[in-house]
Chains A and B, each alone.
Chain A
Amino acid sequence: QLQLQESGPGLVKPSETLSLTCSVSGGSISNSTYYWGWVRQPPGRGLEWIGSVLYTGSSYYNPSLASRLTVSVDTSRNQFSLKLSSVTAADTAVYYCARPLRPSSLNVFDVWGQGTLVTVSS
């Protein structure tokens, strides 16, 4: 059974870089053509797609975040990662990693991590 688990600091200072990792178990990132994704949810608000990455490193980013965003993959550790620079309080959110239902394209997410809360505060 595929499982995803987010990890990283729960508190980041304004203007610094938010870094999170998603560890995948029960399946191999490099044996599939899924675009592994990140989605966030500010407290009490809706969902926002952040970006998605293929095992080759090919990626898609939300245009509203692209200038600050890097999504990468480490196939040797079966992980993919998110780096968001120059964060502000508006980046405070629960961050989810997720796998899409179908390979080879951006589409809906059917497997989700439990989410991790990241607070941006000094």
Chain B
Amino acid sequence: EIVMTQSPATLSVSPGERATLSCRASQSVSSNLAWYQQSRGQAPRLLIYGASTRATGIPARFSGSGSGTEFTLTISGLQSEDFAIYYCQQSNNWLSFGQGTKVEIK
């Protein structure tokens, strides 16, 4: 089983600033890494797949990078609707998710 570890658990950011979220895999997942956003009471929404490709309709302020075991999601110019929980997911070997990073208003 590939274990996904996200950091930090909580990130406090002011609106308009940049947020940088990390995800580490216990073994290489190549570029088979996705990011999801989950707002309270909602289903997850796919943001990024293939480590760096934005899903349909996702604003350009969301960007992903990395390969192998280290990945980053960057949100530039945080807007009010971006304060949510973010999960990474690998699909290289079965499917597994990280435990999430909560982005909260500073």
Contacts and interface: CB of A to CB of B under 8 A. Distances in A.
A8 to B, nearest CB: 16
Contacts of A52: 95
Contacts of B36: 47
Given A108-B89, A112-B43, A112-B44, A49 B95 contact: yes
B97 A49 contact: yes
B49 interface: yes
B43 A46 contact: no
Given A60-B94, A63-B1, A106-B94, A47 B87 contact: yes
Dominant SS at the A interface? loop
B99 to A, nearest CB: 5
A102 to B, nearest CB: 9
Interface string B89-106: 101001111111000000
Contacts of B1: 63-64
Nearest to B95: A49
A82 B80 CA distance: 36
Interface residues of B, number: 21
Interface in A89-122: 96, 98, 101, 105-110, 112-115
21 contacts: A39-B44, A46-B97, A46-B99, A46-B100, A47-B44, A47-B87, A47-B89, A48-B97, A49-B96, A62-B94, A63-B94, A64-B1, A96-B43, A98-B43, A101-B49, A106-B91, A106-B94, A106-B95, A108-B34, A109-B44, A114-B43
- Which 9 residue pairs of A and B lie closest in terms of their CB atoms, listed nearest first? A112-B43, A49-B95, A108-B34, A47-B97, A46-B99, A107-B91, A110-B46, A108-B49, A46-B100
Interface of A: 37, 39, 45-49, 52, 60, 62-64, 96, 98, 101, 105-110, 112-115
Interface of B: 1, 32, 34, 36, 43-46, 49, 55-56, 87, 89, 91, 94-100
